[in-house]
Amino acid sequence: MEQVMMVILFITLLKGFNQEQILLPPAPINKEVGASVLFTVMPFSQPIRAIRWNFNDTEDFIIYIHPTETVTPQYQGRVILNNTTGELELQNLTMADSGKYTLTVTFNNFLGIANHTFLQVFEPVISLGITGPEGHLIEYNSANFTCEGNGTISTTMWMKDNENLDSSSSITFLDDNRTLVINPLLRSDTGNYQCSLSNPISSSTAHYRILINYGPDVRILGLKTFEEGSDILLLCLAYSEPSPTATWTVNGISSRTPLLYVTENSKPNNSGDYNCTCSNSVTGITASAVQYVTVRPVSSRLVPGAEAGITLSVIFAVVIFAILTYFFIKHHRKQANPVREVPVQMVSDQQTSRKTGNNNNVGAQTPTHVTPVDTPVQNNRTQQPIYQNRPTPPPTPPLPRGRPPLPPVRQTNDPHIYCTAVG
C-alpha cells in the first residue's frame, strides 16, 4: 500500500496542482476549547481519488484515504471525514489544536488541488472583578485598579459610566490595559467603572464603584443686613464627601448646629461675626467661612414708602414757596408807586366863613358830596382828577375861619378817586 501511495504522490507532483479553486472557508476560524469545528470544502467537479489533511505543514497527517481511511493515533476518536466531499470535523478542541490546516485532493486523472486555512482555539474569558486600594480614596492622592480575569484574553477595555475611558494627564494604562492608574485622584473621578475582557469567542465585564472623598470647601449664603425683628437665616454651604459636621460661632459663642442657622426676632445685639466651621472625618480637613451680620434698629428704618413720601413733601413745599414768592414780589411792585395827594378845586355856590363868639377852635368841616369821574390812564400816568359837585345841603351855622386840617393821605389802587371838600 505504501508503494501505491508513493506512486500517487509522485504522479501528483509530476502533473502539478491546480490551485485556482478555493476549497476552504476564509481564515481564521475561531473556536472555544471543548467545542468542535467543521472544515467545509467546496464541491469538486470530478471524482476524488485520494484525500489528505495535514496540520502545520508537517509530514504527519491527520487522516488519509486511498483507498482506505487512515487516522493518526492522536486524532483517533476526534475526527470525522466525509469521503465524498472531503470535509473534516475535529471534535473536543484543545488549545494545541490552534494552527494551520491543509487539504490536498487528488482526482482520478492524477491532477490535484491543495488549499489551507487557520484555526484559533480560545479559552472562554471569565472576569473575576476589579481590585483597588484598600481604605478610602482621598482627593489628590493616587490609586491603581487592576482588572482580574481568566481565559484567553485578547483585549482589555476600560469604561466609566458606560463611556470609553481614554488616557489623559491623570489616567494611565499598564500591563496591556489590565491596570488603570489615576494620579492625582479628583472628585470628578467618582463614578461607575467597567473593565471588559474579551477574545473573538467570548467576553466578560467587571464593575467597580469609585468614590472620591474630598473637602470641605465652605462658604456662607445669606443677607448681611437685617431689620430688627426679622429672622436671621444663614446657610453654611459645604462641598464635601462625606457630609461634614458643622459648628456655628457667633460673637465668640460656639454651638454645633445644622448647616442652616436660624435666629428668630433678631435684635441689634445679634450683630457680629458669624463663623461656620466644617470638619470632614475621612479627609481630616477642617475649613471655615466668616460673614459679618448687621441688625438695624427699628428707629433707624423708614416705613414702606417713607422715602417716596419725603421726596413728594419736599417737592410740594418748593412749589408752594415759589407761588408765594411770586405773589409777594408782584404785590410789592404795585405798592412802590402810591397815589399822590393832589389839590382839589372846590366848586360851590357859596363859600362862607363865619366866626362864632369865643370859639377859638377850627370849626367842623361840612363836606360837599362829590361824584367821582373815571380818570383815563395814559402811558401809565394818571391824569388830574375832575370832580363834579352835587347840590349842597342847607347851610350850617358859621364856623370860625381858619385853615382846615388836611385830610389823611389815602393810598389806593382803585382808579376811582374820592375827595372830601371843606366848606
CA distances, 231 to each of 82, 201, 291, 295, 302 (Å): 95, 69, 16, 10, 18
pLDDT band at 27 (very low <50, low <70, confident <90, very high): confident
CB atoms within 10 A of CB 102: 19
Average pLDDT over residues 171-198: 97
pLDDT band at 26 (very low <50, low <70, confident <90, very high): confident
pLDDT band at 214 (very low <50, low <70, confident <90, very high): very high
Which amino acid, 193?
A: Y
Looking up cell 436671621 gives: 232
Give the integer Cα–Cα distance in Å for 392 and 94. 166
Give the integer Cα–Cα distance in Å for 376 and 336. 21
Chain centre to alpha carbon of residue 63: 74
- Cell readout for 354 is 363865619
For position 182, what pLDDT does the model report? 98
Q: Quick one: what percent of the chain has pLDDT higher than 70?
A: 70
Which residues have CB under 8 Å from 213's CB, separation 6+?
Answer: 136, 137, 138, 139, 241, 242, 280, 282, 283
pLDDT band at 393 (very low <50, low <70, confident <90, very high): low
Give the integer Cα–Cα distance in Å for 344 and 331. 29
- Say if residue 32's pLDDT is above 70: yes
CB 267 within 8 A of CB 228: yes
For position 208, what pLDDT does the model report? 97
Mean model confidence pLDDT for the chain: 79
Chain centre to alpha carbon of residue 371: 96
- Say if residue 66's pLDDT is above 50: yes
Average pLDDT over residues 212-225: 96
CB 28 within 8 A of CB 118: yes
- Say if residue 357's pLDDT is above 50: no
Helical H segments across 75-162, by residue range: none
Lowest mean pLDDT among 98-112, 282-296, 396-410: 396-410
Nearest residue to 221 via CA among 232, 208, 207:
232
- Say if residue 90's pLDDT is above 70: yes
Nearest residue to 248 via CA among 266, 274, 223:
274
Give the integer Cα–Cα distance in Å for 370 and 420. 7
- Say if residue 248's pLDDT is above 90: yes
For position 395, what pLDDT does the model report? 61
Q: Higher confidence at residue 377 or residue 297? A: 297
Give the integer Cα–Cα distance in Å for 95 and 73. 18
Q: Higher confidence at residue 412 or residue 235? A: 235
Q: What is the CA radius of gyration of the chain?
A: 65
Chain centre to alpha carbon of residue 257: 30
**Nearest-5° Cα angle at 419, 413 to 421:** 170
- Say if residue 417's pLDDT is above 50: no
Lowest mean pLDDT among 184-188, 291-295, 417-421: 417-421
For position 7, what pLDDT does the model report? 41
- Say if residue 164's pLDDT is above 60: yes
pLDDT band at 155 (very low <50, low <70, confident <90, very high): very high
Average pLDDT over residues 129-139: 96
Q: Residue length, the chain? A: 423
For position 298, what pLDDT does the model report? 85
Lowest mean pLDDT among 121-130, 205-214, 261-270, 376-385: 376-385
Give the integer Cα–Cα distance in Å for 245 and 233. 19
pTM reported for the whole predicted model: 0.59
**Before 404, cis peptide (omega within 30)?**
no
Q: Higher confidence at residue 237 or residue 84? A: 237
The phi and psi torsions of 330 (rounded to 5 degrees) equal -65, -45
Give the integer Cα–Cα distance in Å for 257 and 275. 12
For position 305, what pLDDT does the model report? 61
- Cell readout for 110 is 492524477
